[in-house]
């Protein structure tokens, strides 16, 4: 049985939607390549699907301010603050996040680095979000 619902969508709007779908598919493929490249030399624990919609969408949609807030809150909650080096200049959680972003910089475009930061923390550092 099929339902036919009349609507006011014209051919141009359909073409625009199709174009957006193609662009989104292209971005998903690009993100997948960056994920593969970044995690290539890292030991990923079993049970993590690097290419799941969760991680792809996280890389596409996350902004750095929100990711930093989430990262610092989760790091503190999970007890990954580490030992203070005594220099009192930079907190251990900030050093961790900055270190990850620095190592990521040559491999991942800025547009995807916020989501990739959260992926790294969850998958490699055991941070629970």
In a domain, 5, yes or no: no
Average pLDDT over residues 96-100: 96
In a domain, 61, yes or no: yes
pTM of the model: 0.80
Task: Identify whether the C-beta of residue 116 lies closer than 8 Å to the C-beta of residue 100.
Answer: no
Nearest C-alpha neighbor of 90 from the set 72, 64, 69: 72
- For residue 24, give its domain range: 11-124
In a domain, 4, yes or no: no
Higher per-residue pLDDT: 49 or 92: 49
Write down the pLDDT at residue 13.
Answer: 58
In a domain, 3, yes or no: no
In a domain, 49, yes or no: yes
Any alpha helices (H) in the chain, and if so which ranges? 11-39, 53-61, 64-78, 92-104, 110-124
In a domain, 78, yes or no: yes
Q: What is the pLDDT of residues 36-89, one digit of tens each?
A: 999 999 999 999 999 999 999 999 999 999 999 999 999 999 887 666 656 667
In a domain, 107, yes or no: yes
Mean pLDDT of the chain: 86
- Whether 17 shows a pLDDT value over 70: the answer reads no
Write down the pLDDT at residue 104.
Answer: 97
């Amino acid at each position: 049985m099929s339902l036919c619902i009349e609507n006011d969508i014209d051919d141009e709007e359909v073409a625009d939607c199709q174009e957006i779908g193609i662009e989104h598919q292209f971005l998903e493929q690009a993100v997948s390549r960056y994920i593969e490249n970044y995690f290539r030399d890292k030991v990923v624990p079993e049970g993590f699907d690097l290419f799941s919609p969760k991680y792809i969408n996280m890389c596409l949609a996350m902004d750095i301010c929100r990711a930093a807030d989430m990262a610092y809150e989760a790091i503190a909650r999970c007890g990954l603050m580490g030992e203070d080096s005594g220099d009192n200049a930079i907190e251990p959680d900030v050093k961790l996040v900055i270190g990850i972003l620095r190592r990521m910089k040559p491999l991942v475009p800025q547009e995807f680095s916020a989501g990739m930061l959260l992926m790294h923390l969850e998958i490699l550092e055991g941070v629970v979000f």
